[in-house]
Amino acid sequence: MKRFAKWGLTMPATIAVVVALVIPVLLTIATTFGEPKGAFSTYTAFFNSGFRTNILYRTLRIALITTAISLVIGFLTAYVIARMPGRLKSIAIIAAVFPLLTGVVVRSFAWLIILGKNGIVNDTLMSLGIISEPLSMLYTEGSVIVAMVYLFVPLMILTLTGVLEGVPREVVEASTSLGATPIATFFQVILPLAVPGLIVGAVLVFTGSFTSYATPQLLGGEQMMMMGTLLYQRAMVTFDWVGASTIAAIMVVITIAVVTIMSRMARRLNPMAV
């Protein structure tokens, strides 16, 4: 009875994940090795194509920059939120949750209005007489990064607020009572204790921006393709499924590698864990 219960109850979810996710994804990866030209021929082709490697490097670059900026903005903001009095704190958290619950399309779309040819930034700069011709800010790495930071900062703020609130007040007070200045306390006590949380936040943002589709589609366009948009284009526009599968395999490997390495690191650096 109990034997049936413990396996039986997990069975529907297990079957669904294995059949509809694990096997399809493994099949996608497997097809890349079945080419007549040799098992690794699609990968050789990928890495020999300047166009495609550029997209891979751009995607990595954009994901790294987005992660770094989100970390700094998110950490400083979370530090302020963690120190706010109760009421103000709830308002701040609602203000961070609201964008998070708003869709990616809607949030990316806002930046089209802001950065477009007739957007707010151009309008303002022209009416101030700083520029005479509208700047082309869309379809650049910059526009993609701005929108991605916008996308991921709320996630980082919420993750890190939780982390910073988890640093016991007494530990901070102990540091103070032992003569550490606020800056010394920040660098010697608060920051080291927040490192595991920072890593978790960084992994979330890195994988999220590395695999994003809607934002580069809207703000990067054809000129600034990323891995996600490239995959879609190969699969649904040129119907090069082997090429799309190759891109998929590279994305899976990089994502899983980053997640495993970083979460192992976070666990090792976590002093609270026994």
Residues 135-194 contacting another protein, CB under 8 A? 150, 153-154, 157-158, 161-162, 168, 170-182, 184-185, 188-189, 192-193
233 is a site residue for another protein (CB under 8 A): no
Q: Return the number of the residue (36 or 85) whose C-beta is nearest another protein.
A: 85
Residues 39-68, mask of contacts with another protein (x by CB under 8 A): ------------------------------
How many residues touch another protein under the rule CB under 8 A: the total is: 108
Dist. CA 173–CA 195, nearest whole Å: 20
The separation between CA 49 and the C-alpha centre of its own chain, rounded to angstroms, equals 26
Which of 23-31, 39-47, 126-134, 136-144 is the region at the interface with another protein (rule: CB under 8 A)?
23-31
65-84 residues in contact with another protein (CB under 8 A) are: 73, 76-77, 79-81, 83-84
Q: Return the number of the residue (45 or 191) whose C-beta is nearest another protein.
A: 191
Q: Which long-range contacts (CB under 8 A, 24 or more apart) does 95-102 make?
A: 96/154, 96/157, 96/158, 96/161, 97/154, 97/158, 99/150, 99/154, 100/154, 100/155, 100/158
Q: CB of residue 74 vs another protein: minimum separation in angstroms? A: 9
Q: CB of residue 48 vs another protein: minimum separation in angstroms? A: 22
Residue 77 to residues 66, 72, 174, 264: CA-CA distances in angstroms?
16, 8, 24, 26
Q: CB of residue 56 vs another protein: minimum separation in angstroms? A: 14
Q: CB of residue 263 vs another protein: minimum separation in angstroms? A: 10
Binder to another protein among 47, 64, 241, 265 (CB under 8 A)?
241
Dist. CA 37–CA 81, nearest whole Å: 57
Q: CB of residue 172 vs another protein: minimum separation in angstroms? A: 8
Residue 168 to residues 3, 172, 195, 269: CA-CA distances in angstroms?
42, 7, 15, 18
Residues 6+ apart with CB under 8 A from 194: 75, 160, 163, 164, 167
Instruction: Count how many residues are written for the chain.
Output: 274
Binder to another protein among 87, 101, 128, 222 (CB under 8 A)?
101
201-230 residues in contact with another protein (CB under 8 A) are: 207, 210-214, 217-218, 228
Dist. CA 232–CA 240, nearest whole Å: 10
Q: CB of residue 7 vs another protein: minimum separation in angstroms? A: 8
